Amino acid sequence: MTTCSDSNENRRDPYSEAFKKFIVQDWEPYSDVMPEKLPASDWTPARREKLAAEYPGTTLVIPAGPLKVRSNDTDYRFRPHTAFTYYSGLGEDREPDAVLVIRDEETTLFFRPRAPRTDREFYADSRYGEVWVGKRDSLEEMSAATQLTCRPISDLPEVLRDAGNKIRVIRDADPDVTALVDEARGDLSTALDADLERSASEARFCKDDFEIGEMKRAVDATRVGFEAVARELPNAVKNGRGERWVEGIFGLHARHLGNAVGYDTISAGGDHANTLHWIRNDGDLVDGDLLLLDAGVEVNTLYTADVTRTMPVNGKFTDAQRRVYDAVLAAQTAGIEACREGKLFADVHLAAITVLAEFFEELGILPVSAQESLAAEGGFHRRWMVHGTSHHLGLDVHDCARARAELYRGGTLKAGMIITVEPGIYFKQGDLLVPEEYRGIGIRIEDDILITDGDPVNLSESLPREADAVEQWMAKLEK
């Protein structure tokens, strides 16, 4: 592992004057062939035009964000701010410290272009130097890729100072850029900035055709990862710490087929499945238990899938596991059926939890009837299904999170939205209200659903959901 900053010289020998002269000599000239434009560049102008129309005469500042220190002198792998990706089209690990500036019909991308090889940065800067992190784009290359006017980031302070006080910034993206904006407009007000972040979030509710295509690619890659995990379950059991084995197998395919995982993988065996955000993934997988795998591939454009399957480690559900599984499946099926244009977002959750509450009543574990539990003053069923059934999905796994509540939780479903449907039942091992044969069983089934002007489209339907189909799928993969 290399260092990420020039400030720590303990692991680097000093550069001699002779070396400094030698290292910059006799390099092949850079190619003058320009890169192809980014796949999203045909779609980003309309997005920027729509945003600018909301704020006429206002300078909108959307930073990619800085590199973040992981520990001491090593950085996390860079991932740009979602709003920056949405409006610039830049994905993968591009482009730390860059800033997109939109004002009416004019958009400029400010970034750090590569330094000449005669510069000290070329060989000595472990964060930006070509020797350390690879060849950075020139202004001309970045412009060809993004179809944007590009300027060096060093020009940004002057541009912001000249913009007057009608400036808004995505505040949480880059503290240094936010400080420049606050200085330029002479105040520290955050209300207007929050409104820009809201607009950028709400703009992503309905996906365009490009985004839908990228989501399909993310889901297809995720299916491959799930298949690989199912094939590897015998090794996961045999080698110990099987949850980590599963996480690693899925992560391998995420990096191979896309950019990375879209969020920390939940690989939960046995009772660990009843911890909703179990990402420690340090347990064994045991023959006879279930594995709850909640995972998604993020493709290079940064759109991510979010899929959950619960599968028997040995390939066969027990009677108790199957009964709980079928209840979750029935709840999910009801939720998916409610994913229709014109329905309320909340209708999906209500459809799913109604099925679950009735199941809990059937088991005799509710202190009241299902109907009473579903009432606003009830909620007893939430002991075993505490989370919501759905969230929006796209560039973020929990997409559009800064949108107004009346448009999100209180909103209406529209064609082009992609949401998850993911009910679950979580019967913790120590829950004495649950019949003993069901304790320790945790099940969630999650799919990514595209809202259309007709029937909902299950983007992840190629991964089986019915219990019999899951068993048959696992048996086939073992051959």
Residues 277 and 339 in one domain: yes
- Residues 10-26 have pLDDT tens digits of 667 789 999 999 999 99
| Amino acid 2: pLDDT | 40
Residues 38 and 170 in one domain: yes
Residues 272 and 415 in one domain: yes
Residues 327 and 396 in one domain: yes
From 167, 202, 237, the end of a domain falls on 202
CATH number of the structural domain spanning residue 244: 3.90.230.10
Residues 364 and 215 in one domain: yes
Does any domain span residue 185?
Answer: yes
Q: Which segments of 258-375 does DSSP mark as H helices, in order?
A: 319-337, 345-363, 370-374
From 159, 176, 202, the end of a domain falls on 202
Domain count for the chain, please give it.
2
Structure tokens at 196: 């820009």
CATH number of the structural domain spanning residue 118: 3.40.350.10
Which residues, 6+ apart, have CB-to-CB distance to 187 below 8 Å? 165
Residues 341 and 468 in one domain: yes
From 168, 202, 236, the end of a domain falls on 202
| Amino acid 205: pLDDT | 98
Q: Which domain holds residue 468?
A: 209-478
Residues of the chain under the 50 pLDDT cut: 1-6
Report the alpha-carbon distance of residue 249 to residue 321 in Å, rounded.
Answer: 25
Give the DSSP H/E element, type plus range, for residue 167.
strand 167-169
Residues 229 and 314 in one domain: yes
Q: Which of 305, 332, 461, 343 is nearest to 389 (CA)?
A: 332
Residues 277 and 163 in one domain: no
| φ/ψ of residue 450, rounded to 5 | -90, 125
Residue with tokens 């890169």: 35
Report the alpha-carbon distance of residue 398 to residue 360 in Å, rounded.
Answer: 28
Does any domain span residue 3?
Answer: no
| Amino acid 192: pLDDT | 85
Amino acid sitting at position 176: D
Residues 468 and 362 in one domain: yes
